Amino acid sequence: MRAALLPLFAAAVLAISPPARADRLPVPAGAPPSFNAECGSCHMAFPPALLTAGDWSRVMARLDKHYGDNASLDGKTRRELEDFLARNAAADPRMAGQGDPPRLTASAWFQRKHRKVSESLWRDARVNSASNCSACHSRAEQGSYRGREISLPELREKH
């Protein structure tokens, strides 16, 4: 009888989510395999929590005109990914993107987190674009953005 209750107890403990950490932004477990395959082939698969649901539907509606590229998908995959992104999107209005299609690197949240990064550094040859997270965050692909993981020495020295 006791043993039968154990799995229930374990499930209850796991359901208590850890406090949100600003330096953790993983792609949620249970992402459809097409997410990494389709949205991680040209750039890192961006965590859905970086834009609002409305932003994601605007991104997904115009994959043929995707920031100067064509990222079109078949209808079934597109709907599957749009659902996944919307379900895991940010509710916080500070995460709202800017532009058409919206850029997550233009959100108020992103700008505030990166206020120490100078304009010229975004265009540095080692970086090229603010969307190139892994250029500075050595463990971005694993969803980790800790200060000590910053790979550009001039940025690391500042804190």
Residues near ligand HEC (CB under 6 A): 22-23, 25, 38-39, 41-43, 46, 50, 59, 66-69, 71, 81, 103-105, 113-114, 116-117, 121-122, 127, 129-133, 135-137, 145, 147, 150, 152, 155, 159
Q: Could you tell me the smallest distance in angstroms from the CB atom of residue 112 to ligand HEC?
A: 9
Taking the complex as a whole, the smallest distance from the CB of residue 46 to ligand HEC amounts, in Å, to 5
Cα torsion 101, 103, 23, 142: sign? positive
Amino acid, res. 86: A
What is the total residue count of the chain? 159
Closest CB to ligand HEC among residues 95, 136: 136
Q: Which is nearer to ligand HEC, 1 or 20 (CB)?
A: 20
The DSSP bridge partners found for residue 66 are: 69
Query: With respect to ligand HEC, which residue has the nearer C-beta, 31 or 127?
Result: 127
Find, among 34, 141, 40, 52, the residue nearest to 102 by Cα: 52
Q: Cβ 19 to ligand HEC, closest distance in Å?
A: 13
Type of residue found at 146: R
Does the bond joining 101 to the residue before it have cis omega, within 30 degrees of 0?
yes
Q: Which of helix, strand or coil describes residue 41?
A: coil
User: Residue 58 class from Cβ within 10 Å (0-12 exposed, 13-18 middle, 19+ buried)?
Assistant: middle
CB of 14 to ligand HEC, least distance (A): 24
Output 10 or 123, the one with its CB closest to ligand HEC: 123
